[in-house]
A = this chain, B = another copy of it.
């Protein structure tokens, strides 16, 4: 991706200066980071195993200035996060693709996207209430309205679930929008240039084959 029209922003939840401009920027950046995170539910979580990087897709949710991911207590990275002191170094990246940018020149082809990259030390969450809230947030992140419309985890399920937290201390957003950035000398070339918009769409809900299959499709699915 070329970055000529992208903007990168970084914030710390604690403003680093007391100047008005820094406060404004902090506020703006935080809202941007939150908006990008809240639109998604699938992140790519990276960690280091035996000196080599590993990156896996997983569900996440944001609650305030914290990101949560969950998984089986039997999964190695989550187990390691529980043991590591002062925490397991991770990187969590969330990316939304908004368009394919076609320029006159191959070199200037790009993607319109919004991404957030968060670095830090992941910790296992052991507080019962925080675990419950995080699991609800992950379900709500995938399907808003669903946490209250499903059976919540029982003690056995909770015991099998690891919840890991990453505080949003070191986080940045990067956004590319707009059309291609072609060289002036390329503008007359006879190649179409512009943007092909990309979006995620949700189809018609497919009910499971089960005894209660006559359960009406909830509004939070059809409205999506």
Contacts and interface: CB of A to CB of B under 8 A. Distances in A.
Given A142-B111, A224-B196, A54 B210 contact: no
A136 B161 CA distance: 45
Interface stretch (A9-17, A20-28, A113-121, A123-131): A113-121
Interface residues of A, number: 90
A46 B91 contact: yes
B1 A58 contact: yes
A109 B137 CA distance: 13
Interface of A: 1, 3, 42, 44-48, 51-59, 72, 89-93, 95, 97, 99-100, 102-107, 109, 111, 113, 115, 117, 119, 135-136, 139, 142-143, 146-147, 149-154, 157, 161, 179-180, 182, 186-212, 215-218, 221, 224
